[in-house]
Amino acid sequence: MLGVISIQYVAEFGYMAASALFMLGLIKLGKVKSARQGMSWAAFGMAIAIAATIALLFADDHWSTKSVLLAAASAIAGSALGYWMAIKVPMTSMPEFVAFFNGLGGLASTFVALAEIPRAAHLQLSLADLGDKDHPGEGAMFAIAAGLAVLIGAVTFSGSMIAYAKLAGKVNKNRAGPLGSQGLNALLGVASIALGVWGGFFVSDPAQIYVAGGALLVVSLVLGIGLTMPIGGADMPVAIALLNSYSGIAAMTTGFVLQNNLLIVAGSLVGASGIILTQIMCKAMNRSLSNVLLGGLQDAGDGGGAKKDEGYTKVKTTSAEELAQVLDSATSVIFVPGYGLAVAQAQHKVRELATLLEKKGAQVRYAIHPVAGRMPGHMNILLAEADVPYEQLYELDKINDDFKNTDVVVVLGANDVCNPAATQDPKSPIAGMPVLEVWNARTVVVVKRSLASGYAGIRNELFQMDNSLMLLADAKKALEDTVTELKAL
């Protein structure tokens, strides 16, 4: 008995240590310089949490060598698979990779909650009757937590899989029959709540409890698809942040199901940080969360004052040789990275070009828009991979006023985040969205493979402004050629 109590104390201490490391890691993630250290601390905390959980198996009266070995083998296999995927997945696929992992988190919470429901079914009690007379509210808490864990976890899983498919280009639709319509989503939402209440508070027959749990799972999965399907591509950074929050909330509710303090703390951290990030993303786009969830940009090209990509008449093209000559005489240069930079894997080449310009005496900076790319922080990750100095990265509000004093701005695969329609066309679908006002610079060079529209699906007048030049090429190839030409000058 003493040994069992000691194990429990050690495990709880491990959980406390893991919680502290998670919080410290999250704090470190708030700054680019310390982000890697924050990830390491959080990973170490997770290792402690896994070890403590396996140790708790020894405190169970029904523990066996088989159960301990199975838990340890699962932890090792999962860690190895996660490491392999993180190493193998290219940086261009990181957004869908994050969406996929969000979904797995939701699925894990769903499975754990479903696994706990048979406790009530076995006892032939409604979920709300669980607990003893000294703790009359325990059963109700279990019923609510289990229902929410299944509901939110399943919505997170199916929604994240749709987000993954959209980011990977496997799904290009905003509807799948009636799926995605507001009416059906509302009906599914009401049905899922009704099933949770019915299964948690009004049935005690084991068969009915299983039916309620299974039906809630199916309805919630369909609801997740319906909620995510209408969200347009331009809103994917917001969608990923929101789904990340969902996965945290699902983990938190599972913590209440298991009465596990670590899950409650960790889930709360993820849920709260995800909500905060979602708000930041919405603010960066000057849009409400409800507008994003209803797919506000999904038909952007069909309405408003902006038309789809057609009819450019004043575009001036340039070459890598001419760009090198322009940069050679520049004293200040700002690079604006976008998704095209990620697709071309050109982050190392832009770093090489920037180093060359610095040696020639030019001031080099990078303007980072909060929603550039396909997920929050996408551009920061890319540039950090190329060892771009952190102090050269500037957020939108800290660099927008400096464009008017800049000789050359080089836009690398960005489109919607530097579209003047946001400030000049009140009828545009992106009207009011904070953008990088690159057109105020003396010269703007847009490196892009074509004149095609961005993810918002709208025209960009920047392409044919008087001080704008288009270098129509793959970003990596264009930068390689520019570096070669600049070295020859």
**Chain CA centroid to CA 244, Å:** 6
The CA-CA-CA angle for residues 467, 349, 359, to 5°, reads: 75
Select which of 299, 397, 402, 416 is catalytic: 416
H runs (alpha helix) in 369-426: 378-385, 396-399, 421-424
List of residues 6+ apart from 484 with CB closer than 8 A = 320
Locus of tokens 């639709």? 173
Q: Write out pLDDT tens, residues 317-339.
A: 999 999 999 999 999 999 999 98
Interhelix angle 94-116/206-228, rounded to 10 degrees, is 160
User: Closest by alpha carbon to 233, among 186, 286, 283, 164?
Assistant: 164
- Tell me whether residue 416 is one of the annotated catalytic residues: yes
- Contact assessment for residue 251 and residue 109, using Cβ atoms and an 8 Å cutoff: yes
Q: Each residue of 413-446: b (16+ CB within 10 Å) or e?
A: bbbbbbbbbbbebeebbbbebbbbbbbbbebbbb
Please report the pLDDT score of residue 438 as a whole number: 95
Measure the CA–CA gap between 318 and 198, rounded to whole angstroms. Answer: 67
Question: Could you tell me the two tokens for 59?
Answer: 């405190």
Please report the pLDDT score of residue 305 as a whole number: 40
Q: Write out pLDDT tens, residues 107-139.
A: 999 999 998 887 666 655 667 666 555 555 677
- Contact assessment for residue 159 and residue 224, using Cβ atoms and an 8 Å cutoff: yes
**Cα-based distances in Å from 58 to 12, 28, 38, 284, 375:** 14, 34, 31, 50, 42
H or E element that contains 122: helix 118-123
H runs (alpha helix) in 229-260: 236-258
Please report the pLDDT score of residue 348 as a whole number: 92
Question: Could you tell me the two tokens for 72?
Answer: 């340890």
H or E element that contains 217: helix 206-228
Interhelix angle 347-359/475-488, rounded to 10 degrees, is 20
Question: Could you tell me the two tokens for 30?
Answer: 């708030």
Please report the pLDDT score of residue 1 as a whole number: 47
Is domain 320-488 annotated with CATH 3.40.50.1220? yes
Q: Which segments in the chain show pLDDT lower than 70?
A: 1-5, 60-63, 91-92, 119-126, 128-137, 232-234, 285-287, 291-311, 455-456
Measure the CA–CA gap between 443 and 409, rounded to whole angstroms. Answer: 6
Question: Could you tell me the two tokens for 291?
Answer: 């507008």
User: Closest by alpha carbon to 461, among 485, 482, 438?
Assistant: 438
Please report the pLDDT score of residue 309 as a whole number: 47
Please report the pLDDT score of residue 303 as a whole number: 37
The dihedral through the CA atoms of 279, 338, 302, 222 has a sign that is negative
Please report the pLDDT score of residue 300 as a whole number: 40
Locus of tokens 């979602």? 278
Please report the pLDDT score of residue 299 as a whole number: 42
Which 8-state DSSP code applies to residue 332? Answer: E
Please report the pLDDT score of residue 46 as a whole number: 93
The ranges of the chain annotated as CATH 3.40.50.1220 are: 320-488
The CA-CA-CA angle for residues 310, 313, 318, to 5°, reads: 105
Which 8-state DSSP code applies to residue 176? Answer: B
